[in-house]
Chain A
Amino acid sequence: MSDSARLVVEGLRARVEGKEILNGVDLVVPTGEVHALMGPNGSGKSTLAYTLLGHPNYEVTGGSASFDGTDLLPLAADERARLGMFLCFQYPTSIPGVSVVNFLRAALKAQGKEMPAREFLRTLSAVMGELKIDESFRSRYINDGFSGGEKKRMEILQLALLRPRLAVLDETDSGLDVDALRTVAEGVDRVRGTDMGVLVITHYPRILEYLRPDAVHVLHRGRVVVSGGHDLARRIEADGYDPILGAGAGTAAREGNP
Chain B
Amino acid sequence: MTMAVTVEAHELTKDYKFGFHDIDVSVFRTEKGLSPEVVAAISAHKNEPEWMLKFRLKALSHFRKRVMPSWGADLSGIDFDNIYYYVKPTEEQSRSWDDVPDSIRQTFDRLGIPEAERKFLAGVSAQYDSEVVYHSIREDLDKLGVLFGDCDTGLRDHPEIFRKYFGTVIPANDNKFAALNSAVWSGGSFVYVPKGVRVDIPLQAYFRINSDNMGQFERTLIIAEEGSYVHYIEGCTAPTYSSDSLHSAVVEIIAHKDAHVRYTTIQNWSNNVYNLVTKRAVAYEGARVEWIDGNLGSKLTMKYPSIYLMGEHAHGEVLSAAFAGEGQHQDAGSKCIHVASNTTSNVVSRSISKGGGRTSYRGHIKVHEKATGVRSSVRCDALLLDEESQSDTYPYMDIDSPDVSIGHEATVSKIGDEQIFYLMSRGLSESDATALIVNGFFEPFVKELPMEYAVELNRLLAVQMEGSVG
Q: Could you tell me if B444 and A93 are in contact, using CB atoms closer than 8 angstroms?
A: no
Task: Render B401-445 as a binary contact track against A, CB cut-off 8 A, 1 for contact.
Answer: 000000000000000111101111111111011001101111110
Tell me whether A77 and B443 are in contact in the complex, defined as CB-CB below 8 angstroms, given that A103-B436, A110-B428, A162-B426 are known contacts. Answer: no
Contact partner of A110 (CB less than 8 A), chosen from B426, B441, B442, B443, is B426
Tell me whether A56 and B421 are in contact in the complex, defined as CB-CB below 8 angstroms, given that A96-B440, A141-B440 are known contacts. Answer: yes
Interface segment, one of A5-13, A81-89, A192-200 = A81-89
Note all chain A residues with C-beta closer than 8 A to B418: 93
A226 → B minimal CB distance (Å) = 29
Note all chain A residues with C-beta closer than 8 A to B427: 78, 81-82, 107, 110-111, 162
Tell me whether A96 and B441 are in contact in the complex, defined as CB-CB below 8 angstroms, given that A78-B427, A81-B427, A110-B428 are known contacts. Answer: yes
How big is chain A's contact interface, by range? 20 to 34
Note all chain B residues with C-beta closer than 8 A to A98: 436-437, 439-440, 443
Tell me whether A81 and B439 are in contact in the complex, defined as CB-CB below 8 angstroms, given that A56-B417, A106-B432 are known contacts. Answer: no
Q: Could you tell me if A95 and B419 are in contact, using CB atoms closer than 8 angstroms?
A: yes
A75 to B422, CA, bound (A): 16
How big is chain B's contact interface, by range? 20 to 34
Q: Could you tell me if B422 and A95 are in contact, using CB atoms closer than 8 angstroms?
A: yes
Tell me whether A78 and B430 are in contact in the complex, defined as CB-CB below 8 angstroms, given that A56-B417, A95-B423 are known contacts. Answer: yes
Residue of A nearest to B441 (CB): A97
Q: Could you tell me if A106 and B436 are in contact, using CB atoms closer than 8 angstroms?
A: yes
Q: Could you tell me if B429 and A78 are in contact, using CB atoms closer than 8 angstroms?
A: yes
Residue of A nearest to B416 (CB): A93
A64 to B379, CA, bound (A): 49
Contact partner of A92 (CB less than 8 A), chosen from B422, B443, B444, is B422
A73 → B minimal CB distance (Å) = 16
A65 → B minimal CB distance (Å) = 15
Cβ of A251 < 8 Å from any Cβ of B? Answer: no
Residue of A nearest to B438 (CB): A97
Note all chain A residues with C-beta closer than 8 A to B428: 78, 106-107, 110
Q: Could you tell me if B426 and A76 are in contact, using CB atoms closer than 8 angstroms?
A: no
Q: Which residues of A in the span 8-64 have a Cβ within 8 Å of any Cβ on B?
A: 53-57
Note all chain A residues with C-beta closer than 8 A to B430: 76, 78
Note all chain A residues with C-beta closer than 8 A to B443: 96-98, 141
Tell me whether A107 and B426 are in contact in the complex, defined as CB-CB below 8 angstroms, given that A57-B417, A98-B439, A98-B443 are known contacts. Answer: yes
A83 → B minimal CB distance (Å) = 9
A223 to B422, CA, bound (A): 26
Note all chain B residues with C-beta closer than 8 A to A106: 428, 432, 436
Note all chain B residues with C-beta closer than 8 A to A162: 426-427
A33 to B417, CA, bound (A): 32
A78 to B419, CA, bound (A): 13
Note all chain A residues with C-beta closer than 8 A to B433: 78
A74 → B minimal CB distance (Å) = 15
A146 to B135, CA, bound (A): 49
Note all chain B residues with C-beta closer than 8 A to A92: 422
Q: Could you tell me if A97 and B417 are in contact, using CB atoms closer than 8 angstroms?
A: no
Q: Could you tell me if A81 and B440 are in contact, using CB atoms closer than 8 angstroms?
A: no
Note all chain A residues with C-beta closer than 8 A to B439: 97-98
Cβ of A202 < 8 Å from any Cβ of B? Answer: no
Cβ of A172 < 8 Å from any Cβ of B? Answer: no
Note all chain B residues with C-beta closer than 8 A to A93: 416, 418-419, 422
A99 → B minimal CB distance (Å) = 8
Task: Render B298-328 as a binary contact track against A, CB cut-off 8 A, 1 for contact.
Answer: 0000000000000000000000000000000
- Which of A86, A93, A95, A103 has most chain B Cβ within 10 Å? A95
Note all chain A residues with C-beta closer than 8 A to B444: 97
A102 → B minimal CB distance (Å) = 8
A81 to B421, CA, bound (A): 11
- Which of A78, A87, A93 has most chain B Cβ within 10 Å? A78
A116 → B minimal CB distance (Å) = 19
Note all chain A residues with C-beta closer than 8 A to B416: 93
Q: Could you tell me if B440 and A77 are in contact, using CB atoms closer than 8 angstroms?
A: no
Note all chain A residues with C-beta closer than 8 A to B419: 93, 95
Q: Could you tell me if B436 and A81 are in contact, using CB atoms closer than 8 angstroms?
A: no
Contact partner of A53 (CB less than 8 A), chosen from B417, B425, B441, B442, is B425
Contact partner of B421 (CB less than 8 A), chosen from A55, A82, A111, A141, is A55
B428 → A minimal CB distance (Å) = 5
Note all chain B residues with C-beta closer than 8 A to A78: 424-425, 427-430, 433
Tell me whether A81 and B422 are in contact in the complex, defined as CB-CB below 8 angstroms, given that A96-B440, A141-B440 are known contacts. Answer: no
Q: Could you tell me if A77 and B424 are in contact, using CB atoms closer than 8 angstroms?
A: yes
Q: Which residues of A in the span 171-191 have a Cβ within 8 Å of any Cβ on B?
A: none
B445 → A minimal CB distance (Å) = 10
A158 to B428, CA, bound (A): 14
Residue of A nearest to B433 (CB): A78
A97 to B419, CA, bound (A): 12
Contact partner of A81 (CB less than 8 A), chosen from B426, B441, B442, is B426
Tell me whether A81 and B432 are in contact in the complex, defined as CB-CB below 8 angstroms, given that A95-B419, A97-B439, A141-B440 are known contacts. Answer: no
Note all chain A residues with C-beta closer than 8 A to B425: 53-54, 77-78, 80-81, 86-87, 89
Q: Which residues of A in the span 194-223 have a Cβ within 8 Å of any Cβ on B?
A: none
Q: Could you tell me if B432 and A110 are in contact, using CB atoms closer than 8 angstroms?
A: yes
A57 → B minimal CB distance (Å) = 7
Residue of A nearest to B418 (CB): A93
A98 to B430, CA, bound (A): 16
B128 → A minimal CB distance (Å) = 36
A80 to B425, CA, bound (A): 8
A92 to B421, CA, bound (A): 10
Residue of B nearest to A113 (CB): B427
Task: Give 18 A-B pairs besides A53-B425, A81-B426, A110-B427 with Cβ atoms closer than 8 angstroms.
Answer: A57-B417, A78-B424, A78-B429, A78-B433, A89-B425, A93-B416, A93-B418, A93-B419, A95-B437, A96-B443, A97-B439, A97-B444, A98-B437, A106-B428, A106-B432, A107-B427, A141-B443, A158-B426
Q: List 18 A-B contacts (CB under 8 A).
A: A78-B424, A81-B424, A89-B422, A93-B418, A93-B422, A95-B436, A96-B440, A97-B444, A98-B439, A103-B426, A106-B428, A107-B426, A110-B426, A110-B427, A110-B432, A111-B426, A141-B440, A158-B426
Interface residues of chain B, those whose CB is within 8 Å of chain A, are 416-419, 421-430, 432-433, 436-437, 439-444
* A-B complex: 5 closest residue pairs judged by Cβ atoms: A97-B440, A97-B443, A110-B427, A98-B440, A77-B424
